[in-house]
């Protein structure tokens, strides 16, 4: 083995329980890290729990940072100096979305760079506004269709 092969390139450890749903989450996490120009490397570790897997990935990473997706779709970011059961960030599956998963990838990269994390509350507010706009548009379209079909009475909901 040459010296070049023995040198580990710096990277964030990425672990994921393999499933179709988790592949979308992994794609967004990778995109977040790539946006910050920090390399990642997938770790093939057999672990279902996101927190334990993130810790194992952090320990295996030359940068000391691990990101993982558990069997249930939850996401954890860990730092090698933290206690195993206390990740820096944890996102349950039901609270996640493409935007937040990408931000979590960015968080892992920013941890490496020593930069402040992005404000997820602002992003959640933006998401709420987008949902409100969507509901308003759908309601208006339903009202228009009902009017076209002859339902001219005022509909209360």
Q: Are residues 14 and 90 in the same domain?
A: yes
Q: Are residues 109 and 127 in the same domain?
A: no
Q: Are residues 8 and 81 in the same domain?
A: yes
pLDDT for 1 equals: 45
Domain containing residue 107: CATH number: 3.40.50.10150
Cα–Cα–Cα angle for 88, 73, 127, rounded to 5 degrees: 75
Q: Left, alpha or beta for 124 (phi > 0: left; psi -120 to 50: alpha)?
A: alpha
pLDDT tens column, 10-26: 999 999 998 888 999 99
Question: Is residue 123 predicted with pLDDT exceeding 60?
Answer: no
pLDDT tens column, 31-89: 999 999 999 999 877 889 999 999 999 999 999 999 999 999 999 999 999 999 999 99
Q: Are residues 25 and 96 in the same domain?
A: yes
Q: How many domains does the chain have?
A: 2
Q: Are residues 12 and 79 in the same domain?
A: yes
| Residue range of the domain that includes 145 | 119-157
Q: Round to whole Å and give the CA distance between 76 and 103.
A: 12
């Amino acid at each position: 083995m040459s010296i070049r092969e023995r040198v580990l390139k710096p990277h964030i450890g990425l672990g994921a329980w393999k499933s179709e749903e988790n592949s979308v989450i992994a794609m967004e996490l990778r995109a977040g890290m790539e946006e910050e120009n920090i390399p990642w490397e997938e770790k093939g570790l057999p672990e279902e729990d996101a927190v334990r897997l993130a810790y194992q990935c952090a320990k295996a990473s030359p940068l000391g940072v691990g990101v993982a997706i558990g069997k249930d779709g939850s996401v954890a970011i860990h730092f090698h100096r933290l206690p195993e059961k206390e990740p820096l960030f944890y996102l349950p599956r039901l609270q996640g979305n493409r935007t937040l998963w990408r931000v979590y990838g960015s968080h892992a990269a920013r941890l490496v760079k020593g930069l402040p994390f992005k404000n997820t509350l602002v992003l959640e507010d933006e998401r709420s506004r987008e949902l409100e706009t969507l509901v308003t548009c759908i309601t208006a379209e339903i009202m228009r269709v009902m009017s076209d079909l002859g339902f001219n009475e005022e509909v209360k909901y």
